[in-house]
Chain A
């Protein structure tokens, strides 16, 4: 499928490893990466322009609203830039870029998308060749609408069978990262395929594509299938094409994951590939729970948390911070009474920001503290003090820890018939 996406842009099939210049359909940056991109544009007359304002977007999402004067100055510069060049700016509270490009329908199957953020790979869930770049590359793409790319080796990751109801996209992707390790897919395009896909929701696909970068991949691609097309109909009232690999597509590597064998997992610090079954860590005391981020701040994620938190309380001594990834997600949670469940359980509910995940604001960790977090990285000091620890988990596992104050297998709390992946985009949670 990677080959087809390149072929569509170039009018020919490129070789693996070939360096090609591709037209870019969408390029974005945020308040963590904008300043360096802007510096590049300012100091290089040839780059002091925007190739197409409709294809360039800026997001104030990493430290929003501004927790420091330094951040406020960056936000101010971004608003000015957006006015001057006529590009779209998604200001404080709109949400996290990778969620908002989906909410707004800016990412579509077949597109080439680059963002000055490693989690731009989230767009692979929509069959877009979406990948992260640095600020200089983002500036070049904003100015020229083109970027060089090395055509990646292609890996087929077959998801076979059907996942048990308590499994979420996070468990799937963490299990894969544990298998292939954090450097196992460096520079490669990973394509998710197999009959298991029809049971994997768009929200979970976004989680899986999002963390493709944690195995080193350049892109984590899903096909555009019935699930994708129904999602675009319901959310955007548009028809998108089917985009699937050809039957005889050739791959450089083939892997398989049997979904029925999965169980809830966590990634223990200090590396994302340090993946263990939740049951092996049960009982470990927790100080903070964070449910949010571009990895797990979606509707499905809070439905899962609500199933566990409804009628229960966050345990005394534990902070549970819930930050829906965008205003659109927040509104849907409000309509379905899920915000009420979170607040009544004792969660701190805030508006879309990356804050806690990157240690920017809204809940840093102190010395010796332990967090269960639905985010994507558990490196030393990532969310606060260097002697704090971050365990990455699904929203169900995180919510279970919030209730018990310890790492807990969510199966002990969830009803036996729970199905956590919400494939139907019209689904409405009934409290």
Chain B
């Protein structure tokens, strides 16, 4: 993962659940292989998202992103589809934790979701703690993640981090 993520915005509202990201009815039909679930990502929100999304694109959402099920398939599939980061006003805790564990940057911001429109160019600098909507010329600062979390994200997730360090974090 690059420390600066650049891509187009996919704008979503409040309460986007992990069911919206990957619905149970598709997940359980393909439960033995994550890759087989890819065509169903956001099936009922943004049909064919997996074809439309480009590497580095950023999801910009409202409150309570990642609501519901603990299914880690949700952040894993977003990452697999090419999503570079998720920005939202707030995240549900299991999704937030899962995202860091699997190396998908998640950032809490408040102003950016208010001003961003579909397709705007977004830049996220994790280390500096800045999100820019380049199209609108709006910048918002956030508390950058602590060094160890940055290292986990940079390694591509906690499993890659453990392998790289060749020791458990505790």
Residues on the A chain within 8 Å of B162, using CB: 44, 46-47
Q: Is B110 an interface residue (CB 8 A)?
A: no
Whether A40 lies near B32 (C-beta < 8 A) is no
Whether A379 lies near B68 (C-beta < 8 A) is yes
Whether A73 lies near B27 (C-beta < 8 A) is no
A289 to B93, CA, bound (A): 31
A186 to B14, CA, bound (A): 14
CB-based nearest A residue for B68: A377
Whether A36 lies near B73 (C-beta < 8 A) is yes
Most buried by A among B31, B76, B159: B31
Residues on the A chain within 8 Å of B163, using CB: 44, 46
Answer whether A70 and B101 are a contact pair too, CB < 8 Å, given A44-B162, A183-B92, A187-B93. Answer: no
Q: What total of chain A residues lie within 8 Å of the partner, measured CB to CB?
A: 52
CB-based nearest A residue for B93: A187
A118 to B19, CA, bound (A): 12
Contact of A380 among B20, B31, B70 (CB under 8 A): B20
CB-based nearest A residue for B160: A44
A120 to B23, CA, bound (A): 20
Whether A377 lies near B72 (C-beta < 8 A) is no
Q: Is B90 an interface residue (CB 8 A)?
A: yes
Whether B20 lies near A186 (C-beta < 8 A) is no
Contact of A35 among B23, B32, B159, B169 (CB under 8 A): B32
Whether A46 lies near B90 (C-beta < 8 A) is no
Residues on the A chain within 8 Å of B102, using CB: 134, 136
Q: Is B33 an interface residue (CB 8 A)?
A: yes
Whether A134 lies near B28 (C-beta < 8 A) is no
Q: Is A74 an interface residue (CB 8 A)?
A: yes
A143 to B97, CA, bound (A): 18
Answer whether A361 and B15 are a contact pair too, CB < 8 Å, given A43-B159, A118-B68, A183-B90. Answer: no
Whether A137 lies near B97 (C-beta < 8 A) is yes
Whether A118 lies near B64 (C-beta < 8 A) is no
Whether A134 lies near B98 (C-beta < 8 A) is yes
Whether B19 lies near A381 (C-beta < 8 A) is yes
Residues on the B chain within 8 Å of A71, using CB: 28, 31-32
Whether B97 lies near A134 (C-beta < 8 A) is yes
Whether B72 lies near A140 (C-beta < 8 A) is no
Whether B27 lies near A32 (C-beta < 8 A) is yes
Whether B93 lies near A186 (C-beta < 8 A) is yes
Whether A46 lies near B167 (C-beta < 8 A) is yes
Q: Give 1 or 0 for each of A108-121: 1 = CB within 8 Å of chain B CB.
A: 00000000111010
CB distance from B145 to the nearest CB of A (A): 12
Whether B28 lies near A361 (C-beta < 8 A) is yes
Whether B44 lies near A381 (C-beta < 8 A) is yes
Answer whether A36 and B72 are a contact pair too, CB < 8 Å, given A44-B162, A63-B31, A359-B23. Answer: yes
Interface residues of B in 28-51 (CB under 8 A from A): 28-34, 44
Residues on the A chain within 8 Å of B101, using CB: 134, 136-137
Whether B69 lies near A118 (C-beta < 8 A) is yes
Most buried by A among B27, B34, B167: B27
Answer whether A359 and B20 are a contact pair too, CB < 8 Å, given A36-B34, A44-B162. Answer: no
Q: Is B2 an interface residue (CB 8 A)?
A: no
Whether B28 lies near A32 (C-beta < 8 A) is yes
User: Which A residues lie at the B interface, using CB under 8 A?
Assistant: 21, 31-33, 35-36, 40, 43-44, 46-47, 62-63, 67-68, 70-71, 73-74, 116-118, 120, 132-137, 140, 144, 146, 148, 182-183, 186-187, 216, 218, 271, 358-361, 364, 377, 379-382, 384, 386
24 A-B residue contacts at CB 8 Å?
A: A21-B170, A32-B31, A36-B72, A46-B167, A62-B28, A63-B31, A70-B28, A133-B97, A134-B70, A136-B98, A136-B102, A136-B157, A183-B15, A186-B90, A186-B91, A218-B93, A358-B28, A359-B25, A377-B17, A377-B19, A379-B17, A381-B23, A382-B23, A384-B25
User: Which B residues lie at the A interface, using CB under 8 A?
Assistant: 15, 17, 19-20, 23-25, 27-34, 44, 63-64, 67-73, 76, 90-94, 97-98, 101-102, 157-159, 162-163, 166-170
- Besides A36-B76, A71-B31, A359-B25, 12 other A-B contacts (C-beta < 8 A): A31-B31, A35-B34, A44-B159, A44-B163, A132-B70, A133-B70, A358-B28, A360-B28, A377-B19, A381-B25, A381-B44, A384-B25
